Structure 1
Amino acid sequence: MQVIETLAEGLKREIKVVIPAKDMEQQMNERLADVKDKVRINGFRPGKVPVSHVKKMYGKSIMAELVNEIIRDRPSAILSERGEKSATQPEIAMTEDEAEAEKILNAQADLEFTLSYEIIPAIELKSVDGIKVTREVVEISEDEINEQILKIAESARTFETKKGKAADGDRVTMDYLGKVDGVAFDGGKDEDAELVIGSNRFIPGFEEQLVGLKAGDEKVITVTFPAEYPAANLAGKEATFDITVKEVAAPAATEINDDLATKLGVESVEKLKEIVRGQIESQYGNVTRQKIKRQILDQLDAIYKFEAPSKLIDAEFDNIWRQINTDLAQSGKTFADEDTTEEAAREEYRTLAERRVRLGLVLSEIGEKAGIEVTDEEMQRSLFAQLQQFPGQEKEILEFFRKTPGAAASLRAPIFEEKVIDKLLADVTVTDKTVTKEELLAEDAEEGDKPKKAASKKKAAAKADDAAEGEEAAPKKKAAPKKKAAEGDAE
C-alpha cells in the first residue's frame, strides 16, 4: 500500500492511497479459499468446489466487501501512523467511472482513493501562573433569607374573605364568559375561577380591571390577546369577558415560624432557613462560577492564538447562526431592529464561533494532559438530569441517546469542561472579593438593559464562552397543553 501526501497547506491535508491490484487479488483469494470449504453448491460435494468456480460466483461480492472494509478502516490507521488527528471525519473520494470500478472489482486495476481532512493543530500548553481571577462572594443576610421564605410561602398562603373592594394581591373568585365579536369561543368560559390580582396568570390587562370590584359585582372586561398567543384564532384579537364576582379574599398575614415551616414540609423554621440559605448560596455560586469561568477563558483566549480547523468553525457558526435566526423570528425582529446588518452580524458570530472552537481545543488538550476523565457514574447522573427535564418522555430520550451519533458526547462535553475549569482554578491565582448582591448581578443586568442588542446576541456570546465542542442536543421539551383562552397567560 502506498500513502502519498498530495496537499499540506496550513491544517489541510490530502492523502492519496494506492493498493496494488495484486495485493487486492491476494486478499480476495484468501477469502475465497475460506469460502470454498463452507459454500454449498449443487453438483459439488462440500469442500470440493473449485476455487475458480467460487471466484466466478462470489469474487466480485467478496472484492466489494474488501473495498468497503478498506475504506472504513484504513483512514484511521493511516492518520494514526502519521501521528495526526482529523478535526472531522475525513472525506473519501474514489473513482466514479463504472468501467474503472469494474476493473477494481475484478482485480485488474489498483484500488485508489484520496483522503481530505483538516488536522487538529498541535497545542503547546503554556503556564497558567500569570492567570489571575477575582471570585466575587456575597454575604447572605437574615433579611434576604426571610424575604426569600416569604416568596416561597406565597404558594402556601391562605386567604380570608373580605367585604370590601378587590385590591392588588387579593384573590377573586368569579364566573366569566369570553367573546370575540360578540360570539363565545371555546375555552373562554369558567365558573368559580380563582385569580390572584397581580399574579399575571391571565391575559395582559385583565387582572388590573378586577381592582375595585366586590362580591356580587358584574362587569364587562375588554382585553386584546397578545399577537403571539398560541391559539391562532385568538392571537391579536380584541375580546370581552362577562365577569360575575362571587368572592373577594385578602391574603392572610404570613409569619416566619414553625407553623409556616410545617406547611412547607419542613420540620422547623431553623431547618427552613438552612435550606433557603443553601438555595441562595447555590444561586449566587452559579453566577460567581460563570464570572470566574469567563475570566479564565478570556485570559486563555489572549494566551493561545493559533489557526483552528475551518470545518469545526463552520459547524459551530452554523449552530450559533441557526439560533440567532430562530430568536429573531420568534421576536419578530430583524437585524436592522438590532442596529446592525446581516453581514456585520455574520462577521461577529463567526469570530465567536472561532473563539469557541479554539478554546474548546485548548481545554481538551489541558484535560487530556492532566488525565481528566468523565466517569460512567457522572454520565449516568447527567442522563438522569436530562430525563428529569422531560417528564413522560423518558423512553423517547433514552432512545435518542442510544441511537443518535454524538448524543452521548453532548452529555460528556460539559462535564469534561467543568472538570478542566476546576483543574485550572486549582492552578491559577484566585482572589476573593466580598460584594453586594447587586454588584454580583450587575453585569447581567447591564447586558439585559442594552436595548439595541438582541437577546439572541447575548445568548450567542454566552455560547461562545461555553467552550466545549458543540454536539447534537437532546430533543426539546414538548409544548405544554394550552390553557383555557381566558387564562391565556402573558407567556
Structure 2
Amino acid sequence: MQVTETLNDGLKRGYQITVTAGELDAKVDEKLAEAQPEVEMKGFRKGKVPMALLKKQFGQRLLGEAMQEAVDGAMNEHFEKTGDRPAMQPSVKMTNEDWKEGDDVEVELSYEALPEIPDFDASELKLEKLVVKAEDSAVDEALQSLADNAQSFEDKGEGAEAEDGDQVVIDFTGSIDGEEFEGGAAEDYPLVLGSGSFIPGFEEQLKGVTAGDEKDVNVSFPEEYGAEHLAGKDAVFAVKVKEVKKPKPAEVDDELAKRYGADDLDALKAQIRERLESEYAGAARSVMKRQLLDQLDEKVSFDLPPSLVDAEANQIAHQLWHEENPDVQGHDHEKIEPTDEHRKLAERRVRLGLLLAELGQKNDVKVTDAEMTQAVMNQARQYPGQERQFFEFVQQNPQMRQQLQAPIFEDKVVDYVFEQADVSEKEVSKEELQKEVEKLEEDDAAA
C-alpha cells in the first residue's frame, strides 16, 4: 500500500493512496479463511469446502468489502502516523474509474487538517467578577409579588360595578349564527377583568356590570384562533353575572410563607434572597464569560480551516436572514451570501470553539452521564406528556445528543479556565449588573 502526498498548502492536505491488486487478493483470502469453518456446501462437510471453490463462489462479493476496508485502513493508518485531525469529513474519491478485477485501486484523499492550537498561560488572564447582594428592598419587592399572586377575592357589595382587576363569576353560553358551539359554555366561571384570558373584546364589555345582570357579549374570534371552526367568526355570548368580587391582597406573614412551602416568613425571605443572588450570579457569570472569550480571541491566534469558517458564516447568514424574514418558514428561498461581518463573526466562533475544545481535551474535561441525563430531562419538560418519546429520540439521534452535550462541555471548560485565571471581585448594584447584561445583548444583536 502506497500513500503519496499531493497537496500541502496551509491546512489543506491531499494524498494518493494505492492499494495493490495483491493486497486486495490477500484481504479476500483472509476474509474467506475467517468464514471457512462455518461454511456448508453440498458435497462437503461443514468447514471443509476448498478455498478455491469458496473464492469462486464468494470472492467477487467480498472484493468490494475488502476494497473498502483496505482504503479505510490506509486512511486510519495515515491519520495515526501524521497526527492530522480532519476539520470536516475527508473527501475520498476513486481515481481509476475504469478499474477491473486484477487492477490496483487508486484513491484520492483530501481534507483540511485541524490546526495546532498554541499553548497559553491562563493565569495571565485578568477577569472581573461582578458580585451583587440581594438588598432588603429587592426581597420585599419579591415578597409583595408573591402576595399579589396569592390574592383572593371577596364580595364587592350589593350593586357594586365591576372594574378592571375585579373578579366576576359568570355563566355563559356562546353561539354563532344562533347555534351554540362546542366548548362555548361554562357555569360559575371566575373571570378577572383585564387579565386577557378571554378573546379580545369580551372582558371589556363586562366592565360596569353588577351581580344579577344578564348581557349579550358580541365578539369576533381572531383569524389565527386555534380552533379552525371558530377562527374569524362572529359570536354572541349570553352572559349571566352571579357575583362581582374585589381583590383581597394576601398579607405578607407566616401564613403566606406556608402557602409557598416555607416554615415561616423569615425562611421564605431567606429562600428569596438565595434565589435572587443565584440569578445575579448567573448573570454575572455571563458577563465574565464574555470577558474571557474576548481576551482569548485577542491573545490566541492560529490558522483556521476555511471549510469550517465557510460553514459557520453560511449558518450565521442563514439564521439572521430568517430572523429578519420571520414569515418565511421553509428553506426554499434564494441563496444567502455571507457578508464580511458574517465571516468575521464566524472566524471568532470557530477560533474560540477549537480553542475551548482543545483545552477541554488536554485537561480531560468530560460531560458525565448524570449531567447529560439532567440536560435531557430539562429539554423534555418542553414536551409535556411526550417525555418518554423525547428520551428515546435523543438516544437514537447522535446529532441531538451532541447539541445537548456541546454547551455543557463549553461551560465546564470555561469554569476550568476561570479557576486558572486571575479573578478579582467587584461588588456592584443590581442596576449596574443589568447594564452590563444589556451590553451583552446589544453586542449579540449587533453581531
Partner of 1:282: 278
CA distance in 2, matches of 1:5, 1:415: 39
For the pair 1:92 / 2:95, whether they are aligned, the reply is no
Partner of 2:417: 424
TM-score by length of 1: 0.79
Partner of 2:191: 195
For the pair 1:113 / 2:113, whether they are aligned, the reply is no
Kept after mapping to 1: 8 A contact 2:14/2:110: yes
Aligned partner of 2:128 among 134, 137, 140:
134
- Once the two structures are superposed, what CA deviation does each residue of 1:143-190 show, in whole Å capped at 9, x if it has no partner? 221221232344432211113222332222223455667776554443
Kept after mapping to 2: 8 A contact 1:8/1:14: yes
Higher deviation after alignment, 222-231 or 72-81: 222-231
For the pair 1:379 / 2:372, whether they are aligned, the reply is yes
Kept after mapping to 2: 8 A contact 1:146/1:256: no
CA distance in 1, matches of 2:321, 2:170: 42
One-letter identity of the residue aligned with 1:305: S
One-letter identity of the residue aligned with 2:198: F
CA distance in 1, matches of 2:22, 2:117: 42
TM-aligned CA deviation for residue 25 of structure 1: 1.0
CA distance in 2, matches of 1:352, 1:183: 59
Aligned partner of 2:137 among 143, 146, 151:
143
Matches within 5 A, 1:186-335: 186-204=182-200, 206-221=202-217, 228-231=224-227, 241-330=237-326
Partner of 1:43: 43
- Structure 1 residues 446 and 159, CA, compared in 2 at 3 Å: closer, same or farther? farther
CA distance in 2, matches of 1:238, 1:446: 47
CA distance in 2, matches of 1:263, 1:157: 11
Q: Identity of aligned pairs, percent?
A: 40
CA distance in 1, matches of 2:433, 2:236: 45
One-letter identity of the residue aligned with 1:77: E
- Once the two structures are superposed, what CA deviation does each residue of 1:349-396 show, in whole Å capped at 9, x if it has no partner? 443333222111111122223332223332333333333443322322
Partner of 1:406: 399
- Structure 1 residues 92 and 224, CA, compared in 2 at 3 Å: closer, same or farther? farther
Kept after mapping to 2: 8 A contact 1:178/1:189: yes
- Structure 1 residues 219 and 304, CA, compared in 2 at 3 Å: closer, same or farther? farther
Query: Equivalent residue of 2:38, what SS?
Result: coil
Structure 2: gaps spanning 5 or more residues? 330-334
- Structure 1 residues 191 and 351, CA, compared in 2 at 3 Å: closer, same or farther? farther
Partner of 1:13: 13
Query: Equivalent residue of 1:406, what SS?
Result: helix
Query: Equivalent residue of 1:216, what SS?
Result: coil
CA distance in 1, matches of 2:214, 2:203: 15
CA distance in 1, matches of 2:411, 2:2: 43
Query: Equivalent residue of 2:358, what SS?
Result: helix
One-letter identity of the residue aligned with 1:39: V
Kept after mapping to 1: 8 A contact 2:322/2:328: no
TM-aligned CA deviation for residue 132 of structure 1: 2.9
CA distance in 2, matches of 1:295, 1:283: 19
Partner of 2:427: 434
Kept after mapping to 1: 8 A contact 2:287/2:436: no
CA distance in 2, matches of 1:191, 1:276: 38
One-letter identity of the residue aligned with 1:124: P
Partner of 1:168: 164
CA distance in 2, matches of 1:78, 1:302: 34
Aligned partner of 1:367 among 360, 366, 375:
360
Number of positions where the alignment pairs a residue of Structure 1 with one of Structure 2: 441
CA distance in 2, matches of 1:358, 1:440: 28
CA distance in 2, matches of 1:412, 1:94: 36
One-letter identity of the residue aligned with 2:267: K
Kept after mapping to 2: 8 A contact 1:153/1:264: no
One-letter identity of the residue aligned with 2:67: V
One-letter identity of the residue aligned with 2:395: R
Aligned partner of 1:354 among 309, 332, 347:
347
CA distance in 2, matches of 1:173, 1:319: 53
CA distance in 2, matches of 1:197, 1:260: 24
TM-aligned CA deviation for residue 435 of structure 1: 2.6
Kept after mapping to 1: 8 A contact 2:318/2:336: no
Partner of 1:465: none
CA distance in 2, matches of 1:317, 1:4: 33
CA distance in 2, matches of 1:220, 1:445: 48
Higher deviation after alignment, 251-260 or 383-392: 383-392
Higher deviation after alignment, 417-426 or 73-82: 73-82
CA distance in 2, matches of 1:177, 1:57: 80
Higher deviation after alignment, 259-268 or 34-43: 34-43
- Structure 1 residues 308 and 446, CA, compared in 2 at 3 Å: closer, same or farther? closer
Kept after mapping to 2: 8 A contact 1:209/1:221: yes
Higher deviation after alignment, 318-327 or 86-95: 318-327
- Structure 1 residues 183 and 326, CA, compared in 2 at 3 Å: closer, same or farther? farther
- Once the two structures are superposed, what CA deviation does each residue of 1:122-144 show, in whole Å capped at 9, x if it has no partner? 11022344533332222212222
Partner of 2:332: none
CA distance in 1, matches of 2:26, 2:146: 77
- Structure 1 residues 183 and 332, CA, compared in 2 at 3 Å: closer, same or farther? farther
CA distance in 1, matches of 2:326, 2:232: 15
Matches within 5 A, 1:180-191: 186-191=182-187
